[in-house]
Structure 1
Amino acid sequence: MADFVSIDNPHFSNYLLLLEIIPSLQCYSFQDKDLILLATNIEMHNRNHVLLYPKDVDSVSKAITPKLHTLLHFPSQIRLFGPPRYSWCFRYE
């Protein structure tokens, strides 16, 4: 993919940050420093997303989707309940 997209491209850099966040959510255990880094990366990704994909002023929808907003809650949920890989996330539970 590097042949087609420059690493300096902000859209691609934000995508790479998201690709860094997702595997970190699949870890078997977390330390406080891991959760601090995860929270920082998620906040940075969401901030960049709003800047890179702005919505019109008249638009009803927001730049941050529910999926991206949910990412913000993962560090505190991991502190309370442990790694997400051990959680059951059935929709109608």
Structure 2
Amino acid sequence: MLGISEIAIICIIVILILGAKKLPELARSMGKSARILKSEARAMKSESGARSSGEPPSGGDAKQIIEVAPGDVISPQATGQNSTFVPRH
């Protein structure tokens, strides 16, 4: 278990290595990453809850969305009935 003095030494080393100018940027990016992780975890929980109750996760008819780039070749087997093609730009 780390004590207060060990944590203070680690913080001082981080400040010396990264510099004071980059710390706010680092904190912002870590905050964004934490928010994305939390939202994805919530989405996975709600999706698994919807699947266990037998409902489609989107609340409507489940469609498969396929992104197609210009020049892509699409085989008829890959399309299926419930597919929606979205061209990428």
Q: TM-score, normalised by structure 1?
A: 0.28
Structure with greater proportional strand content: 2
Tell me which structure has the larger Cα radius of gyration.
Answer: 2
Structure with greater proportional helix content: 1
